[in-house]
């Protein structure tokens, strides 16, 4: 450090976080009332990156039935999920049982806890509302309350500031803890009573009902007794569904003990016709429940499903797409070709999650079914792997999705990718229902289907990319006007008679798409985008040149279509073009990340010494899983600063430097 004696070691502590300076985009809370009031968050370099890219589906109101609210409180928040463009920990915490959730709260003990956009993106994809947290605690909290509530106008002002934040970032409201805000669209926590005392009531009663009356709901503290849900329902009257009885998954005095007996409390709450608020489901992750996180997570959420049932249905609208990505993994693929072979995590990358049923006794299943991160993926970093034993003529079926998709007069197209070994075959079973025609089953399978009694539709085989070896893409259309698609199952089967004597079964389902057209997605040409580079900073690291910059893009036509995802690549073009008989040899396109808004920050990209320019390619991806051809994608090209230029700049400074030294002497 400047000014230190030569024998003193430099301070290893990093400099204080300065949100105004360009750096790898992160999510962070607002810690003081002053920062909330002066709007400094909106001036942050990180602010635009924190906006959600997935709006909540239109008309997604809270259902008129008992609901499930999940409050995520883990390690103080902002752990792996703070890295907006993704991190490097494939073991990062994630939730993928969104079909069991109505409302998601991102909770921490900062004054204003803003949900990282990854949570809002995936929750909104699945039809789940997202709340941030406003909390005041201790002596500092008392001072904050005194200032906020000094006048009615002041209370209104701060409530409006919180509403503006939620609107600007794209989440849906607030959990307000330990105080009352006037006219705030909020979920109220059971803490302060009407006389201003911090006293948990563990039920809705006359001590806290005035707060309940001016908010969207109340989160009842988790130390309630067996009769409290029923008593709270009586006090709430017509609004009993807005009473959320708390359950602490860690089991700290919670009814039923939480943990692996969380279902005890859920069943009492459901019976008394109020809603549930599940606090800290990250217990499974934090306490390292055996045998591994994915298995333990599936087992724990199966308790919720058995006690409460499914609360979200999809597909509901078209197009519908899933590559079964959980937002973490060990590789990433695009159209069957692997583009990344290292660990990563990014919850924003989750697509619709399958409703896979958990079975306690694995020996009762002939086929093990799991979302897998090791087997090659067709798109993203996940897939569903089916592995086990199966006799010829036998079949195995498992639920993928529970839908509520009303079909119209036009046909709908099912497209799915499969990779299998030997005589292992994989098809899709569809369940549909009609008020006039009743229920109907359709089976989509390419061959060996004589053993199935339901109506069989034979898909056509699509052309797969040359760099996607082993993958087979199938497509079939159905015309079922007036029917509702209610279930999608995967069916494992073998041809009969058996070609080989083995009973081993192995198949991978890469992705599934349902759409109203068989045509390929048309993307805007590269010329229809405006692409810019900003905050360009050159540097060195371990003797190599580095580059950091922000790349942003937007359609030339402001009314152009918006896309949910962009894959970012870089071509490092050398100084001397290598030519062959066919022309210039193509440079390697290196995948460097994914963006869910129209901007991406490149941090300390290492540049080989023979590189003359860098071409950053923005591959546009559609909601139906389609990706633009890289040759047609928008790009930003930047000449690399040469060492000669840098030396010239240095030598140009020498005369004035020498002059200053002489003057000093």
**348-396 pLDDT, tens digit each:** 999 999 999 998 876 667 899 999 999 999 999 999 999 999 988 889 9
Which residues make up the CATH 2.60.40.10 domain(s) of the chain?
526-647
Q: What is the pLDDT of residue 454?
A: 73
Please state which of the ranges 36-40, 42-46, 60-64, 660-664 shows the lowest mean pLDDT: 660-664
Q: What percent of the chain has pLDDT over 90?
A: 75
DSSP, collapsed to helix, strand or coil, labels residue 510 as strand
Tens-place pLDDT, residues 151-177: 999 999 999 999 999 999 999 999 998
* Nearest by Cα to 128 from 159, 161, 95: 95
Distance (Å, whole) CA 175 – CA 189: 7
Provide φ and ψ at 138, rounded to 5°: 65, -165
pLDDT band per the 50, 70, 90 thresholds, residue 340: very high
Task: Go through the chain and tell me how many residues it has.
Answer: 665
* Chain region(s) in the chain for CATH 2.60.120.260: 320-515
The Cα–Cα gap between 32 and 40 comes to 11
Residue 284: per-residue pLDDT: 98
Choose the weakest-confidence range: 16-20, 185-189, 246-250, 450-454: 185-189
Place 648 in a pLDDT band, splitting at 50, 70 and 90: very low
Strand ranges, E, within 43-158: 68-72, 103-106, 112-113, 129-135
Query: Percent of the chain beyond pLDDT 70?
Result: 87
Report DSSP letters for 561-591, one per residue: PP-SEEEEEEEEEESS--EETTEEPPPPEEE
**SS3 assignment for 167-224:** HHHCCCCEEEECCCCCCCCEEEECCECCCCCECCCCCCCCCCHHHHHCCCEEEECCCC
CATH 2.60.120.260 matches 320-515 = yes
Q: Hey, how many other C-beta atoms are within 10 angstroms of the C-beta on 629?
A: 10
pLDDT at 494 over 60: yes
What number is the average pLDDT over the span 419-438?
95
What average pLDDT does the segment 551-578 reach? 86
How far is 624 from 319, CA to CA, in rounded Å? Answer: 6
What CATH homologous superfamily does 33-58+66-308 map to? Glycosidases (3.20.20.80)
pLDDT interval class at 644 (50, 70, 90): very low
Structure tokens at 114: 């803003």
- The answer to whether the CB of 511 falls within 8 A of the CB of 378 is yes
Query: 294 — phi, psi (to 5°)?
Result: -60, -45
What does residue 160 show for φ and ψ, rounded to 5 degrees? -65, -35
pLDDT (mean) for 561-574 = 93
Rounded to a whole number of angstroms, the CA Rg of the chain reads: 28
**For position 450, what pLDDT does the model report?**
66
The confidence score (pLDDT) of residue 181 equals 38
CB 433 within 8 A of CB 487: no
Assessment of whether the complete model's pTM goes beyond 0.85: yes
DSSP 486: E
The CATH superfamily holding the domain 526-647 is Immunoglobulins (2.60.40.10)
- Phi first, then psi, for residue 565 (nearest 5°) are -160, 150
Q: Quick one: pLDDT at residue 177?
A: 84
Q: What is the pLDDT of residue 210?
A: 87
Report yes or no: 304 and 298 within 8 Å, Cβ to Cβ.
no
| Tokens 């067709």 found at | 378
Judged against a pLDDT cut of 70, whether residue 198 lies above it is answered with no
Q: How far apart are CA 279 and CA 252, in angstroms?
A: 11
pLDDT of residue 626: 96
**456-460: which pairs have CB atoms within 8 A and are 24 or more residues apart?**
459/414
Residue 382: partners with Cβ closer than 8 Å, 6 or more residues away: 323, 324, 325, 326, 329, 371, 372, 373
Residue 236 has pLDDT above 60, yes or no: yes
Confidence band, pLDDT 50/70/90 cuts, at residue 655: very low
Mean pLDDT of 189-196: 54
DSSP-H helix ranges across 228-333: 228-236, 262-271, 283-286, 293-308
Burial of 130 (0-12, 13-18, 19+ CB in 10 A): buried
Q: Which of 166, 206, 158, 203 is nearest to 183 (CA)?
A: 158
pLDDT-derived band at 643, boundaries 50, 70, 90 = very low
pLDDT at res. 495: 79
Task: List the strands of the sheet with 565-574, edge to edge.
Answer: 589-595, 565-574, 611-621, 635-639
The predicted pLDDT at position 57 comes to 83
Q: What mean pLDDT is reported for the chain?
A: 89
The pLDDT of residue 141 is above 70: yes
Give dist(CA 81, CA 86) in Å, integer: 8
Backbone angle region of 196, left / alpha / beta, with phi > 0 → left and psi within -120 to 50 → alpha: left
Rounded to whole angstroms, the Cα distance separating 561 from 556 reads 11
CATH 3.20.20.80 segments of the chain: 33-58+66-308
**Pairing relationship of beta strands 504-515 and 320-322 according to DSSP bridges:** antiparallel
Predicted local confidence at residue 502, as pLDDT: 76
Kindly state the tokens that stand for 594. 């994914």
Whether the per-residue pLDDT at 646 is higher than 60: the answer is no
Q: What is the pLDDT of residues 513-550, one digit of tens each?
A: 999 998 889 999 999 999 999 999 999 999 999 999 99
pLDDT at residue number 652: 38
């Amino acid at each position: 450090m400047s000014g230190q004696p030569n024998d003193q070691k430099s301070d290893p502590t990093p400099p204080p976080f300065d949100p105004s300076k360009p750096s790898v985009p992160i999510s962070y809370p607002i810690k003081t009332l002053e920062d909330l009031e002066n709007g400094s968050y909106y001036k942050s370099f990180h602010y635009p990156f924190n906006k959600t890219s997935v709006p909540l589906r239109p008309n997604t109101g809270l259902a008129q039935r008992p609901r499930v609210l999940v409050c995520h409180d883990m390690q103080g928040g902002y752990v792996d999920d703070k890295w907006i463009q993704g991190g490097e920990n494939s073991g990062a915490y994630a939730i993928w049982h969104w079909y069991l959730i109505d409302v998601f709260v991102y909770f921490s003990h900062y004054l204003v806890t803003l949900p990282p956009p990854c949570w809002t993106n995936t929750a909104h994809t699945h039809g789940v509302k997202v709340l941030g947290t406003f909390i005041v605690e201790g002596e500092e909290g008392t001072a904050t309350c005194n200032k906020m509530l000094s006048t009615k106008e002041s209370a209104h002002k701060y409530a409006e500031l919180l509403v503006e934040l939620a609107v600007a970032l794209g989440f849906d409201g607030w959990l307000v803890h330990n105080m009352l805000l006037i006219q705030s669209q909020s979920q109220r926590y059971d803490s302060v009573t009407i006389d201003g005392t911090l006293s948990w009531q563990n039920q809705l009663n006359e001590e806290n009902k005035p707060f309940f009356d001016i908010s969207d709901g109340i989160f009842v503290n988790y130390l309630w007794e067996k009769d409290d849900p029923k008593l709270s329902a009586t006090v709430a009257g017509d609004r009993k569904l807005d009473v959320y009885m708390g359950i602490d998954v860690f089991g700290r005095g919670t009814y039923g003990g939480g943990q692996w007996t969380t279902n005890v409390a859920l069943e009492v709450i459901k019976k008394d016709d109020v809603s549930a608020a599940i606090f800290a489901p990250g217990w499974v992750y934090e306490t390292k429940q055996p045998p591994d996180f994915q298995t333990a997570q599936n087992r724990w959420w199966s308790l919720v499903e058995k006690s409460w049932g499914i609360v979200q249905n999809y597909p509901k609208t078209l197009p519908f797409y899933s590559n079964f990505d959980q937002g973490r993994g060990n590789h990433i693929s695009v159209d069957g070709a692997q583009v990344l072979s290292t660990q990563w995590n990014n919850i924003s990358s989750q697509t619709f999650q399958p409703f896979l049923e958990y079975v306690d006794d694995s020996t009762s299943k002939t086929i093990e079914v799991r979302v897998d991160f090791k087997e090659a993926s067709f798109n993203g970093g996940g897939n569903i792997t089916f592995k086990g034993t199966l006799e010829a003529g036998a079949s195995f079926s498992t639920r993928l999705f529970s839908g509520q998709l009303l079909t119209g007069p036009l046909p709908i197209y099912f497209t799915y990718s499969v990779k299998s070994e030997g005589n292992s075959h994989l098809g899709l079973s569809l369940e549909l229902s009609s008020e006039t025609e009743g229920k109907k089953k359709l089976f989509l399978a390419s061959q060996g289907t004589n053993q199935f009694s339901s109506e069989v539709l034979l898909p056509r085989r699509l052309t797969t990319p040359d760099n996607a070896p082993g993958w087979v893409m199938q497509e079939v259309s159905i015309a079922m006007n007036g029917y509702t698609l209610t279930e999608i199952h995967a069916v494992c089967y073998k041809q009969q008679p058996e070609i080989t004597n083995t009973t081993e079964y192995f198949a991978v389902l890469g992705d599934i798409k349902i759409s109203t057209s068989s045509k390929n997605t048309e993307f805007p040409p590269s010329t229809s985008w405006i692409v810019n580079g900003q905050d360009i900073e050159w540097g060195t690291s371990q003797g190599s040149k580095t580059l950091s910059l922000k790349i942003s893009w937007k359609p030339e036509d402001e009314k152009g279509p918006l896309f949910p995802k962009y894959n970012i690549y870089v071509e490092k073009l050398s100084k001397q073009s290598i030519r062959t008989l066919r022309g210039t040899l193509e440079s390697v396109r290196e995948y460097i990340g994914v963006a869910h808004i129209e901007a991406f920050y490149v941090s300390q990209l290492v540049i080989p010494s023979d590189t003359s320019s860098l071409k950053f390619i923005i591959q546009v991806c559609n909601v139906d899983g389609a990706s633009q051809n890289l040759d047609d994608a928008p790009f930003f090209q930047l000449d690399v600063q040469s060492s000669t230029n840098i030396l010239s700049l240095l030598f140009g400074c020498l005369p004035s430097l020498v002059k200053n030294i002489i003057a000093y002497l």
